[in-house]
Amino acid sequence: RALARPQAASRIADMRLDREVVAVAQELLGKLERNRRHPTFLKVFPTGETRSVTQAAYMTTEPLLVQQIETRLREVRDLPGIAVLADRLKERREAALANYARLGEARAAYRGARTEELLARDVLRDVLARNEGALLSLFPQQRSLVRAFFASDRGAQGVDEPGAAGLAAEKPQADS
């Protein structure tokens, strides 16, 4: 749940970036009489389509591809308004990168919190095992009562028979 919001924001930013790439391509085509084979369009979009950009890996490859498109758009000098298209792409790309960074930070924080929780559980298990051992040595005749108190981690334990050989005859339990 801690990651749900940053993941959603990251996906939304990716969709917005995809839509902006398509919108820029459409506006560029509008300036080039809808000709996908126009040298200027092929200079900006070498494959002649946007799919190679919009379907790229959204946190790694896509921002680099969009940055290349921005650079190519800025190199086009003979069409008015091209710099505005490049600026729009840059704005969306930077917003997406900021969201990707926040998602990365949230993932790192989650992993750190999870690691701390697991370490704390290990410490707690060790303390409980020492306490169980101490109580078993203090009350060897009431092993089933002591084990019942500590049974939540291992499940139900068998009841010791009266007259059992004691601690030496019993096999040690492995922690899970």
Give the separation between CA 104 and CA 87, rounded to whole angstroms.
25
* Of the candidate ranges 30-39, 40-49, 102-111, the one whose mean pLDDT is the lowest: 102-111
What confidence tens digit (pLDDT) does each residue in 94-118 have? 999 999 999 989 888 888 887 888 8
H-state helical runs in 32-152: 39-44, 51-54, 61-75, 82-138, 143-149
Give the separation between CA 96 and CA 13, rounded to whole angstroms.
5
Q: How confident is the model at residue 121 (pLDDT cuts 50, 70, 90)?
A: confident
Tell me the whole-structure pTM to 2 decimals: 0.62
The residue among 49 and 128 whose pLDDT is bigger is 49
Give the separation between CA 175 and CA 23, rounded to whole angstroms.
60
Cα three-residue angle 111-12-22, rounded to 5 degrees: 135
The residue among 171 and 30 whose pLDDT is bigger is 30
Closest CA to 19 of 91, 76, 98: 91
Give the separation between CA 83 and CA 88, rounded to whole angstroms.
9
The residue among 164 and 80 whose pLDDT is bigger is 80
Give the separation between CA 166 and CA 17, rounded to whole angstroms.
71
What confidence tens digit (pLDDT) does each residue in 136-174 have? 888 888 888 888 887 765 544 444 433 333 433 444 444
